[in-house]
């Protein structure tokens, strides 16, 4: 049986905003709301409410989702930026509207370049805290979001991260502050890079059951690992096999955001998930022939039909 929760706002929490109420943004919004800290919701599409399905829980987050950044909105103490990297520039008006001088921006985005990508779009010298999102959340055809794992974030042990962790302290989202954030961020990037094969084949996790796809994925991940280590990540030689084994352990129907974007005809996050391997490989004089091919094909796929 699914139980529905509609919880009230606690006045004791720091004001929080979520920009981008997609799968990840809806999950964070629902967990905050469930704990009594209703965030300000901002996005492109007006919605009366958000709904998260988490096992037998159905958490309904009351709206509205604000869509006009020119309408005065209270500044946020902590802002969760949950738009895709391809939409960061589009979200800039919301960043200007919601960020005060003391706002901490937590980038719930893929990749290892969040700070450099977000910094040009905020109006102050705000602290930007990158995050590694470990939980799978998938948007459903009826507009709800289904959480398919325990919610967990990893943040760097850096200024501002304590305020992000405090905003989530009473929620069911487990937050780790990592001294070696670089290694964890790159490990997640390797996982995201390999998921590019799902977008290229138009298939879900079951595609990795093929031995030929598994061999190609392993070779690709070894290229990615070499670049990651050159960037300071401490990834051992077992990492490619471990990531591949994880994909092969998923339910065959498990999807990923880059495949969902391809199915919806949206631009793909190919550059920050895959192109970064080729770009940084060149800077370290590391050959990345598989990455170069994957990046070219994903870029072409992102262009759409025709």
CB burial readout 18-54, b (16+ within 10 A) else e: bbbbbbbbbbbbbbbbbbebbbbbbbeeebeebbbbb
Structure tokens at 304: 């759409």
One DSSP character per residue, 250-292 reads S-TT---HHHHHHHTTPPP-HIIIIIHHHHHHHHTT---HHHH
Query: β-strand 152-156 against 174-178: which pairing, if any?
Result: parallel
Q: What is the spatial distance between Cα 285 and Cα 222, in angstroms, rounded to a whole number?
A: 15
Catalytic residue flag (residue 188): yes
Number of H helices, E strands in the chain: 12, 14
Query: β-strand 145-147 against 49-54: which pairing, if any?
Result: parallel
Q: What is the spatial distance between Cα 26 and Cα 113, in angstroms, rounded to a whole number?
A: 23
The radius of gyration computed from the CA coordinates of the chain, to the nearest angstrom, equals 19
> Of the residues 15, 121, 188, 262, which is catalytic?
188
Q: How far is CA 34 from CA 58, 75, 301, 303, in A?
A: 10, 22, 39, 39
Q: Cis peptide leading into 222, omega within 30 of 0?
A: no
> The sheet that has 132-133: what strands, in order across it?
132-133, 152-156, 174-178
Q: What is the spatial distance between Cα 68 and Cα 250, in angstroms, rounded to a whole number?
A: 39
Q: What is the spatial distance between Cα 232 and Cα 198, in angstroms, rounded to a whole number?
A: 28
Enumerate the active-site residues. 188
């Amino acid at each position: 049986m699914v139980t529905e929760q509609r919880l009230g706002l606690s006045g004791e929490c720091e004001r929080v905003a979520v920009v981008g109420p997609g799968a990840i943004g809806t999950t964070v919004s629902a967990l905050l709301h469930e704990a009594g800290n209703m965030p300000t919701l901002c996005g492109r599409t007006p919605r009366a409410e958000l709904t998260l399905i988490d096992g037998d829980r159905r958490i309904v987050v009351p709206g509205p989702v604000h869509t006009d950044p020119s309408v005065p909105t209270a500044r946020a103490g902590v802002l969760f930026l949950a738009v895709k990297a391809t939409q960061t520039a589009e979200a800039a008006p919301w960043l200007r509207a919601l960020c005060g001088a003391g706002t901490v921006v937590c980038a719930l985005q893929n990749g290892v370049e969040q700070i450099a990508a977000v910094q040009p779009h905020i109006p102050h010298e705000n602290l930007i805290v990158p995050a590694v999102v470990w939980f799978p959340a998938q948007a459903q055809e009826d507009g709800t979001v289904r959480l398919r794992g325990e919610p967990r974030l990893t943040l760097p042990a850096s200024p501002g991260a304590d305020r992000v962790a405090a905003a989530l302290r009473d929620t069911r989202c487990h937050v780790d502050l990592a001294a070696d954030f670089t290694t964890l961020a790159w490990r997640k990037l390797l996982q995201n890079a390999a998921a590019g094969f799902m977008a290229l084949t138009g298939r879900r996790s079951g595609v990795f059951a093929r031995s030929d796809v598994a061999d190609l994925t392993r070779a690709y991940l070894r290229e990615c690992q070499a670049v990651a280590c050159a960037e300071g990540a401490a990834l051992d030689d077992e990492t490619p096999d471990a990531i591949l084994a994880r994909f092969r352990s998923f339910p065959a129907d498990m999807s990923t955001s880059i495949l969902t974007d391809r199915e919806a005809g949206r631009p793909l996050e190919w550059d920050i998930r895959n192109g970064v391997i080729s770009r940084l490989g060149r800077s370290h004089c590391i050959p990345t022939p598989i990455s170069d091919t994957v990046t070219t094909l994903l870029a072409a796929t992102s262009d759409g039909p025709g």
